[in-house]
Chain A
Amino acid sequence: MMKFLRRHPSMNAWLLLAPALIWLLAFFVVPLFIVVSYSFLERGTYGGVVGQFTLENIQRVFDPLYLSTFLRSIYIALLTTFFCLLIGYPLGYFIATRPPQRRNTLLLALMIPFWTNFLIRTYAWLTLLRTNTGLINVSLMSLGIIDKPLPLFGNDFSIVLGLVYGWLPDMVLPIFAALDRLDVGLLEAASDLYAPGRRVFRRVIWPLSLPGVIAGSMLVFIPSLGAFVTPAILGGGKTLMMGNVISNQFLAAHDWPFGSALSSLMMGVMLFATLIYFRSTSGQARAA
């Protein structure tokens, strides 16, 4: 064995890669293939599939009912990304411009909440936001600031709030990393060349932090699009996203092929978004 490896050094690399490759093949490539192929099969009565080819599932995906849910999911994911960026950029900028010691403390503070289970944190929001018994509405009403509960729960607002809360660090960290690498000398050079602060930002800081912004946006957009727990809990059973529809198809309707078709569509959209990401970052890499 050792002799063989010494004679064929390239086999060493394959040997080292083997565990990862087997893992990917067994738990990623094969399931992916199953999901995509199920989309083209007829459903079994109690879940599963029967081996009969059909395009019906694919056609149903474009039914206005599902398409509108799908577009709403994209809309919510975009809103989430937008607000994460709006909050995350200044935060990332602030952390990146602190002295190194403070910076570590702040990064730690950013991550500490995430040591708690995601489900528990989402339920915590539930107790705050619930329409009639939520802490916020109860407090505001007992203080006499409002007479009837604010619509804080079971709508787009509560879902986007929950998602922004959940994915904010994924936006902040890449932006922080990009700004951390930024050479302060470039900012001085820009102001030396007659650029006031606002334009230093627009012409130098923003374009150079763009790779971080794009990476952060992808890291927020993709999981938001497929979100399941947050809309299930904070949507109050009324507002659904694609993740909930898919889970319903598998668990409630026992329609695996249709659930697979919806999943495939969503993966297609995510793949598309990722391709855009790679294209724009490779452009940036050429620029940087």
Chain B
Amino acid sequence: MGDDIGVELRDVVKRFENVTAVDHVSLTIKDGEFFSLLGPSGCGKTTSLRMIAGFEMPTKGEVFIGGVPQGYLPAYKRPVNTVFQHYALFPHMTVQQNIAFGLEMTRVPKDEIKQRVADVVELVHLKGMERRRPKQLSGGQQQRVALARALVNHPKVLLLDEPLGALDLKLRKAMQVELKELQIRVGITFVYVTHDQEEALTMSDRIGVMDRGKLLQVDTPQMVYEAPSTRFVSDFIGETNYLSGHVTSLQGDVCEVAVEPGLRVWAAAVPGVQSGNQVSVAFRPEKVYLNIESNQEMNTLSGTVRDVVYTGSATTYHVELPDGSILMARQQNFETLPDTRFHVRDQVEVSWPIQASKAFAE
């Protein structure tokens, strides 16, 4: 087992009575990596995290931390610490006592505890709050205490269960940046559970996307977004246009798809897609151009603008195709204009690069 492995799940299954929460998940997280488990609620991401922490034991399979199989080791014997969703700070202890708790349990000498708590308090910007109780802190401050309480133990792996979920949007964004910086500074493996795709994209080195207990794709944020392996991944992360049709021909890694009434488009084919398959052609709204000079690398269709959504930095046009389906085209507002470029009922040409669209079997 190499030194560079932080956490490994090997064919892990977790069943609760008759529900399979985690279904044959195998995953290797590198040492020092910021890894996110992303998925909707009930997808098994939190259960996976709890199995690493030792709060749940796998029904099947094995969890390794730093190459060491954990078996049925209870939580208090594992070299990991957790930042809980609702922080779970001890209400009867001060900030100082909360942070020192883990060090006291492992019988670290008093002087060293003092020093380490002081260091971590500095690290998470909580200076001056040491004597307060959790109730006297704001949500953001409580979040920092939870972080400090875990980090002070220098765990091999830090597990974070939707730690920013309870914060307001602005604070959440600030904390995302701060967490990422912190992770680079301390160099600890972070396993981060979230249902917020933006959070995962912003912070992670790699993302594991889960759905219904299965791990669907493990990749860098760019690859998860640009090259989703399944329709679920493409749907869950970011916005997606879909056109459904059937494959009429395959040429290398691209295929031709006949969309309902005679419209034909080309798309990159997901492995396994065959001629005659019913597929969804998926592509991102920001990859769609309106009224540009098209070429062979692009699909082009004509349609009618049905809706214009102005959001400041960009404008999204909802374009209706002849068959009635609606495509979104997001245009960055590069120029300073008094009005949007197109208006409802305008006839437009919609183009997008073939390589930016994927055909998923339905």
Contacts and interface: CB of A to CB of B under 8 A. Distances in A.
Interface stretch (A9-17, A157-165, A184-192): A184-192
A194 B102 contact: yes
A192 B75 contact: yes
B105 A195 contact: yes
B86 interface: yes
A155 B148 CA distance: 58
Contacts of B74: 191, 196
Contacts of B342: none
Contacts of A183: 86, 88
Interface string B68-112: 000000111100111010101111100000000110011000000
Contacts of A189: 82, 84, 88-90
A20 interface: no
B189 to A, nearest CB: 16
Nearest to B77: A194
B55 interface: yes
B105 A193 contact: yes
Contacts of B54: 191-192
A191 B90 contact: no
A51 interface: no
A284 B91 CA distance: 10
B153 A193 contact: yes
Given A185-B86, A204-B90, A287-B91, A192 B105 contact: no
A94 B103 CA distance: 30
Contacts of B82: 188-189, 192
A185 B84 contact: yes
Nearest to B133: A287
The residue among B76, B80, B150 with the most chain A CB atoms within 10 A of its own CB is: B76
Contact of A190 (B91, B101, B135, B150): B101
Contact of A186 (B81, B88, B149, B150): B88
The prevalent SS among residues of A at the interface is: helix
Interface string B126-145: 00000001010000000000
A167 B91 CA distance: 30
Contacts of A286: 133
A199 interface: yes
Interface in A235-288: 284, 286-288
A129 B76 CA distance: 48
A185 B91 contact: no
A199 B105 CA distance: 8
A103 interface: no
A60 interface: no
B75 A186 contact: no
A207 interface: yes
B25 interface: no
Given A192-B81, A195-B76, A288 B91 contact: yes
A287 B94 CA distance: 9
Interface residues of A, number: 21
B53 interface: yes
A86 B171 CA distance: 48
A191 to B, nearest CB: 4
A286 B153 CA distance: 28
Interface in B335-356: none
A126 B260 CA distance: 91
A278 to B, nearest CB: 18
B142 to A, nearest CB: 13
A208 interface: yes
A203 interface: yes
A101 to B, nearest CB: 17
A280 to B, nearest CB: 13
A288 B101 CA distance: 17
Interface in A204-248: 204, 207-208
A189 B54 CA distance: 11
Contacts of B77: 194
A270 to B, nearest CB: 28
A232 B204 CA distance: 75
B76 A188 contact: no
Contacts of B105: 193-195, 199
Contacts of B133: 286-287
A193 B108 CA distance: 13
Contact of B88 (A185, A195, A196, A288): A185
B89 to A, nearest CB: 8
Given A191-B75, A193-B81, A193-B102, A186 B53 contact: no
Nearest to A287: B92
Given A185-B84, A199-B105, A287-B133, A193 B149 contact: yes
Interface in B32-78: 53-55, 74-77
A189 B105 CA distance: 12
Nearest to A186: B88
Given A186-B88, A207-B92, A192 B53 contact: yes
A139 B133 CA distance: 58
Interface in A136-153: none
Nearest to A188: B55
6 contacts: A191-B76, A192-B55, A193-B81, A193-B153, A194-B106, A196-B76
Interface of A: 183, 185-186, 188-196, 199, 203-204, 207-208, 284, 286-288
Given A189-B90, A284-B92, 20 more contacts: A183-B88, A188-B55, A188-B88, A189-B82, A189-B88, A191-B76, A192-B55, A193-B101, A193-B102, A193-B105, A194-B76, A194-B105, A194-B106, A199-B105, A203-B90, A203-B101, A204-B90, A207-B92, A286-B133, A287-B92
